[in-house]
Amino acid sequence: SNSSSAATDARARGGEMKVSVKTLKGSKFEIEVNPADKVSDVKKLIESSQGQNVYPADQQMLIYQGTVLKDETTLEENKVVENNFLVIMLRQNKGSSSAAPSKSKEPSNQAPPTQTVPATPASQAPATPAPQAVAAPAP
């Protein structure tokens, strides 16, 4: 609770600034931070705003002007100012990152069984127009 009150004090003093975060895929998003925020706090903020499955805080690497920012340093110490941008990368050393996408695919594997249910009325439906189609060309 101690660190959060410090952050709110900084916000009360108008210490909030917008910083862009660029991804290696070329997309970018904005976050609101304080110069006094630790890099580890910024990672948690990104995790909560972008989704833990996308950017887990423990795998994030934040890079500013070619330097990887250390968790225990603050944005101010790293000379990050308003409208600067950070580059975000994910460490791939943990197996959890490769496991996460496979989890999200599981529901789609379970979807096809539900589609086999409508298939039974559908297979009967073409059977009824078929005799009429045969009868129509005869005259």
- CA distance readout (Å), 86 to 25, 57, 58, 96: 14, 15, 17, 24
Quote the CA–CA distance of 26 and 51 in Å, as a whole number: 18
Query: What architecture is the 2-91 domain classified under in CATH?
Result: Roll (3.10)
Residue 100, SS3 per DSSP: helix
| Extents of the domains making up the chain | 2-91
9-41 pLDDT per residue, tens: 544 555 689 999 999 889 999 999 999 999 999
Q: Which two tokens stand for residue 94?
A: 């943990």
Contact 45, 67 (CB under 8 A): no
So what's the pLDDT on residue 98?
A: 44
| pTM greater than the 0.75 cutoff | no
